[in-house]
Structure 1
Amino acid sequence: MTVTDTGGLRLTGLRRYPVKSCRGEDLDVATVEPWGLTGDRRWMVVDPSGEAVTAREANRLVLITPSITDSGLLLSAPDIEDLDVDRPASGPLVEVKIWDDRLLARAADPVAGDWFSGVIGRSLRLVYLDDPRRRPVNPAYGAADDTVSLADAYPLLLATEESLTQLNTWIAEGPRSADGPLPMTRFRPNLIVRGEDAFAEDTWRRVRVGEVVFRVVKLCDRCVLTTIDPVTATRTKEPLVSLARHRRWDGKTWFAVNLVPEAPYGSGVPEAPYGAGVPEALYGSVRVGDQVEVLETR
């Protein structure tokens, strides 16, 4: 969807990532749940011990395109036949590890693990987080009842077009200019916003996007995943070189902000059935073109 510039802050892009570290899907509208957009990062690739495998070490994961279907996923990748994977509604729960978090997830059909193993070249399994209420966010920044799916740390990530433009200007002026300009997909945000000064989002504390209010819990520190070209899976030095020159403090580099959703307009949160019977709190929907309002700054 093309967004006409009518002034003010607007939501210009909306993306979800069905499988952690794989390619994302562009959406026109999405439902917001307590742990992120519906369908966002509910699947994850793990090694035989259950530890998360991401594109940081398995770069070719960014070449895999997962699409959500009524029954589960359709997986596509270069030089291999597509695979339909059913969402596991029952079957074994296995312990998985993502960073410092250990939790239970449903094991997908072993055929899916074999498919990923063929693409990546090592032994892998695919798991599905049937109940995202199992994983709390970091209590240092979130509330006691905040939860997250299989995203790195928080339910949603927001980035602005103006901040990317400024970053690409720094890249063009720097020693690694051939690496740029970079697309927004390098940073894997869920919400893309236009209409403010570059890095104004650093100061936001609460924002409303369409009918949903979000807390901005912290800036996002960036890692080597941003150096992987999502089209070719090759590595570059940017954006970390330029971020280190202009956006480095506390020993880290920073781009975009992490969000936790609140109930729409402070109202009660309805519940509806979801997936394998997990009660689902629906916080409302966001749509490309929605007005974005900064409610509170820090």
Structure 2
Amino acid sequence: MAAEAKVKSIFLYPIKSCRGISVSEAPLSSTGFRWDRQWVVVNAKGRACTQRVDPKLALVEVELPKDAFSIGWKPNMSSYLVIRAPGMDELKVSLCNPPQICDGVSVWEWSGSALDEGAEAAKWFTDYLGKPSRLVRFNEELEIRPVDSDYAPGFRVMFSDGYPFLLVSQGSLDTLNELLKEPVPINRFRPNLLVDGCEPFIEDLWKEIKIGNFLFNGVKLCARCKVPTINQENALSSSEPTETLVKFRSGKVLHPNRKGKGQVYFGHNMVCHDLHDGSEKMIKIGDPVYVISMFLSYDDTAT
């Protein structure tokens, strides 16, 4: 079987809605890439803060130990998540689980407990966002956050919006940028996997693929919110690229006889089937992407 594409970039986002990390390889876990959306900033009511309301989160950079992406790595007392933002002192958060449990944390439809990262982190984000905030970590020992069972029963995530993986192709980004007055980088769309070598938007129709030796299913096209309109370098928003995407990537254009006509789609949400035995596996830049089966048309894809 010939490869249809290859992995060009791997991204993960340790703190939901904050800046991502680009890595050459990343271990897979049952909730997606290890470390992906393991933390979230919450407001005084325990609700997740995102760039939709707090675009300044785009400027929050995070750093993990280099060894944190190795198979079998475990944190010790000198292992930290380092957090930086303009005008703020550096914040170090221990990767050893904090003892405090915070109840009433909610991300969209889900609510449960989380691990509170403490007063110093709370003050840092409160000062930065200008409103009472706390940094919490997903409570893996006590909580399970399932994805929508209508699309991918049996799968789960931490604080991701919906699904364990988001895949986009370089061809899709290039085609969009040819239509824009000012090209946008891939960080506007916050994918986990950027693949190259395939036709633009063909990833929309990937029903079943293998990346390296791991089996993935495309479960739902990604309907975009306002985040792609936020410049990830300065946190300023504009009408693009959504204004252009509406013209050729809306539900009205892609599947005019179905619901979701007002949505705009870019990227394909995916799940990986080879992660339920509890052992970690690795995906690397350069891994081949093999297409096993495809949807016949956009009318067959889930949106």
TM bracket, shorter-chain basis: 0.7 to 0.9
Equivalent in the alignment of 1:253: 264
Is 1:135 aligned to residue 166 of structure 2? Answer: no
1:59 Cα offset (Å) = 0.7
1:7 Cα offset (Å) = 7.8
Distance 1:97 1:41 in 2: 14
5+ residue gaps, structure 1, are 1-5, 172-176, 272-280
Is 1:41 aligned to residue 37 of structure 2? Answer: yes
Matched letter for residue 206 of structure 1: E
Equivalent in the alignment of 1:91: 100
Equivalent in the alignment of 1:3: none
Structure 1 residue ranges (4+ consecutive) displaced by more than 4 angstroms after TM superposition: none
1:34 Cα offset (Å) = 1.4
Structure 1 residue corresponding to 2:9, chosen from 13, 16, 20: 13
Task: Answer yes or no: is the 8 Å Cα contact 2:10–2:193 preserved in 1.
Answer: yes
Task: Answer yes or no: is the 8 Å Cα contact 1:158–1:259 preserved in 2.
Answer: yes
Task: Answer yes or no: is the 8 Å Cα contact 2:4–2:291 preserved in 1.
Answer: no
1:36 Cα offset (Å) = 0.7
Give secondary structure in 1 for the equivalent of 2:290. strand
Equivalent in the alignment of 2:230: 228
Give the number of aligned pairs: 271
Is 1:59 aligned to residue 55 of structure 2? Answer: yes
Distance 1:84 1:96 in 2: 22
> In the superposition, relative to structure 1, how do residues 135 and 77 fare at CA in structure 2: closer, same or farther (>3 Å)?
same
Distance 2:249 2:14 in 1: 30
Describe how 1:281-296 pairs up with structure 2 within 5 A: 281-282=279-280, 284-296=281-293
Give secondary structure in 2 for the equivalent of 1:260. strand
Further displaced range: 132-141 or 53-62:
132-141
Matched letter for residue 90 of structure 2: D
Structure 2 residue corresponding to 1:102, chosen from 78, 100, 111: 111
- TM-score, normalised on structure 2? 0.86
C-alpha distance after superposition, 1:173-221 (max 9, x if no partner): xxxx2xx200001000010001111110111111111122111111000
Structure 2 residue corresponding to 1:77, chosen from 77, 82, 85: 85
Distance 1:287 1:188 in 2: 18
Distance 1:77 1:93 in 2: 25
Matched letter for residue 292 of structure 1: V
Distance 1:214 1:8 in 2: 14
5+ residue gaps, structure 2, are 66-74, 252-259, 296-303
Matched letter for residue 81 of structure 2: L
Distance 2:293 2:226 in 1: 32
Equivalent in the alignment of 2:175: 166
Equivalent in the alignment of 2:242: 240
Task: Answer yes or no: is the 8 Å Cα contact 1:7–1:195 preserved in 2.
Answer: no
Q: CA RMSD in A?
A: 1.6
Equivalent in the alignment of 2:131: 122
Matched letter for residue 41 of structure 2: V
Distance 2:85 2:218 in 1: 35
Identity, in percent, stands at 32
Distance 1:296 1:95 in 2: 42
